[in-house]
Amino acid sequence: MRRRDWILAGASLTACATVRAQPSWRRARVVVVGGGIGGATAARYLRLWSDHQLEVVLIDPQATFVSCPLSNLVLGGFTTLEALSRPMDALDAQGVHRIRDHVTHIDTERRLVLLAGSDPLRYDKLIVSPGIDLDWSSVQGLRDAHQSGQILQAWKAGPETLALRRQLEALPDGGVFALTIPEAPYRCPPGPYERASVVAAWMKQARPRSKLLVLDANPDITSKAALFKKVWAERYAGLIEYRPLHKAVAVETGRSAGGVVRFELQSPERADVLNVLPAMHAGPLARTTGLAGSGPAPGRWCPVHYQTFASPLAADVHVIGDAIQVAPAMPKSGHMANAHAKVAAAAVLSSLAGLPPDDQPMLTNTCYSHVDGQQVIHVASVHRYLAQEKTYRTVPGSGGVSDGPTALEARYAWHWARTLWSDMLG
């Protein structure tokens, strides 16, 4: 074994632990479930930071990563899904052993991952990043309307994004597009408002007599509120209509796309295209394997020890990404999932080496939002782990928001996305 130092950099902005390559890394197998932003990043960094000694297995059925970040642009007709897609096999060159399969269960007692199409797999450490799932039960009739293709969500980028785009293209001039937003927390706080903006930009050109209703269960816009409101007032007055405190509880459909959405308190709305985003919870695997609590009604999200992202409910299991119960002011974002992954990867390597974890991990976040095809606003923050409070708090004075939309920030947004894809896949 080479006796060289390895820097566990990136896991913390301030404290970089210097660790020698460890013999124990050669004997261990770390399994990562979910090859999205969190899981792929974790797999790649486990290999990098172990000097490629650790056996890392990544399980995900997908052959291609399709980025949710920037996918709203596809709905506005400003980019293609191909431009946001990357082959997962880039990870093979890093020595990550990929298995294209679906994990059906995790036996945390016997440290086994059970797969739909192959033999169970033993692990020494497990990192789980299964993302979110939509809670169909929160909106009556929505599951059927989704299955029939009449009311789409497109909250996981892919074919459904294209199907929703086709519904928009079929919108008559003078028609109504309605987007409903669930109560926070949900995946990507600014995502629905970005979606409204880019769809409005397209409608302004292509369907100028149409209307876009933003029907929000929250009392106000949940991210970059002042910026979105200003943009909507200046660019989309008469086109976008924003209504807070509209919690969707039921939908009704006819023969074609669209239908009626009903709310807990307010009057129902009819729209030609309905994009109903229901409440969300951790991916089903996390909830059926006890990582979100056990019993007939598990929690919506997975609790974690924030210093390491270890599960308090299962030994040697870490949960990262959108599936976790977030710390204060921590968004469910791809940037965050990428940052969680590095803290968890460093903690796993430290633990296998018999070393303590970083005592002050830090996380960063930047969320860029397009307000049309060419201009972008952002919000950024830095989050420090506080040992006394056992949680993350934003660092006072860190981060901030844009002054207003610019084309320069649109260039930053695309560079940010390409950097993220390279960081997770190599």
Ligand X SMILES: Cc1cc2nc3c(=O)[nH]c(=O)nc-3n(C[C@H](O)[C@H](O)[C@H](O)COP(=O)(O)OP(=O)(O)OC[C@H]3O[C@@H](n4cnc5c(N)ncnc54)[C@H](O)[C@@H]3O)c2cc1C
Contact residues for ligand X, defined by CB under 6 A: 33-39, 59-62, 68-69, 71-72, 102-103, 129-131, 155, 187-188, 191, 283, 285, 321-323, 332-335, 337, 367-368
Nearer to ligand X, 19 or 157 (CB): 157
Question: CB of residue 252 vs ligand X: minimum separation in angstroms?
Answer: 25
Nearer to ligand X, 53 or 275 (CB): 275
Nearer to ligand X, 242 or 416 (CB): 416
Q: Which residue is nearest to ligand X (CB)?
A: 36
Residue type, 23: P
Question: CB of residue 43 vs ligand X: minimum separation in angstroms?
Answer: 11
Closest CA to 72 of 419, 410, 412: 410
Question: CB of residue 4 vs ligand X: minimum separation in angstroms?
Answer: 31
Closest CA to 358 of 398, 312, 306: 306
Question: CB of residue 20 vs ligand X: minimum separation in angstroms?
Answer: 30
Question: CB of residue 135 vs ligand X: minimum separation in angstroms?
Answer: 15
Identify any residues that bridge with 87 across adjacent strands, giving them in sequence order. 64
Question: CB of residue 375 vs ligand X: minimum separation in angstroms?
Answer: 15
d(CA 287, CA 408) in angstroms, rounded, equals 42
Question: CB of residue 265 vs ligand X: minimum separation in angstroms?
Answer: 27
CA angle 403, 405, 409 (to 5 degrees): 95
Residue 255, exposed/middle/buried by CB under 10 A (0-12, 13-18, 19+)?
exposed
Nearer to ligand X, 13 or 16 (CB): 13
| DSSP H or E run through 5 | strand 5-8
Nearer to ligand X, 72 or 351 (CB): 72
CA atoms within 13 A on the CB side of 39: 28
Nearer to ligand X, 188 or 251 (CB): 188
Closest CA to 135 of 304, 258, 299, 312: 299
Question: CB of residue 97 vs ligand X: minimum separation in angstroms?
Answer: 14
d(CA 41, CA 98) in angstroms, rounded, equals 13
Question: CB of residue 116 vs ligand X: minimum separation in angstroms?
Answer: 8
Nearer to ligand X, 6 or 361 (CB): 361
Nearer to ligand X, 285 or 353 (CB): 285
CA atoms within 13 A on the CB side of 155: 30
Question: CA torsion 344→347→352→353, rounded to 10°?
Answer: 150
Is 73:374 a contact under the CB 8 Å cutoff? no
Q: Could you identify the residue written with the tokens 């710390």?
A: 327
Classified as helix, coil or strand, 382 is strand
Closest CA to 253 of 103, 374, 159, 150: 150
Is 368:412 a contact under the CB 8 Å cutoff? yes
Nearer to ligand X, 17 or 336 (CB): 336
